Amino acid sequence: DKSVIYLENATYNDMKFAINRISEIAKAFSGDASIIVYYSGHGIPNEATGEGFLLPVDGYGTDTSTALSISELYKTISDLPIKKATMFMDACFSGAKRDGGMLVAARGVAIKAKAAAPKGKIVVLSAATEDQTAYPYEEKQHGLMTYFLLKKIQSTQGKVNIGELFNYVETNVKRNSIIENGKLQTPVSAVSPVLANSWKELTIW
């Protein structure tokens, strides 16, 4: 439990504090730490640049300066002395909500966000492509990605490599998004160049 930083309904300052805390811990372990980041919530795009942001509970969907930049998050993590960082993003960055509506009422269409490129030793598994919505699995009271992510980790007791985990999540989310919500949702991976040839064999922990 002491290794977990858990935030529910996080504000912008909560997010910044947690990232700083992770940075301090990673530096104290001098290269021996592995980081897991899990985020479930809303993402928004900068309409001018397409850059993706994580929207805190006190942020505004019309103002990305009140949200956390994905590219800045990647840079902060990539600069740390760590074994690796695995990031799970059950969110979309098109400005759409899970119920099919839009975070900004005046905007009637989703925007295709520009995917940030991770560097360092980072593997990112995201719930959907840049212009898709990350849908819920109402029956299970989870996001689609989160449900199948947890199901695979639980069934294998965490003894699964990231490649197998991603393939399982991708297959099941694609199939169930059509059945449950009538629209396609396709999880995607993004990997830093350093891990491009080895990420599928890595474990989470």
Percentage of the chain exceeding pLDDT 90:
80
Pairing of strands 52-54, 84-90: unpaired
Helix (H, G, I), strand (E, B), or coil: what is residue 78? helix
Phi-psi region for residue 116, left (φ > 0), alpha (ψ -120 to 50) or beta? Answer: beta
Pairing of strands 52-54, 122-126: unpaired
User: Whole-model pTM?
Assistant: 0.89
d(CA 93, CA 39): 13
d(CA 7, CA 29): 23
Q: Residue 112: what pLDDT?
A: 61
Helix (H, G, I), strand (E, B), or coil: what is residue 163? helix
Q: What is the mean pLDDT of residues 109-129?
A: 82
Q: Residue 111: what pLDDT?
A: 53
Q: What is the mean pLDDT of residues 37-50?
A: 92
**Host H or E run for residue 167:** helix 162-181
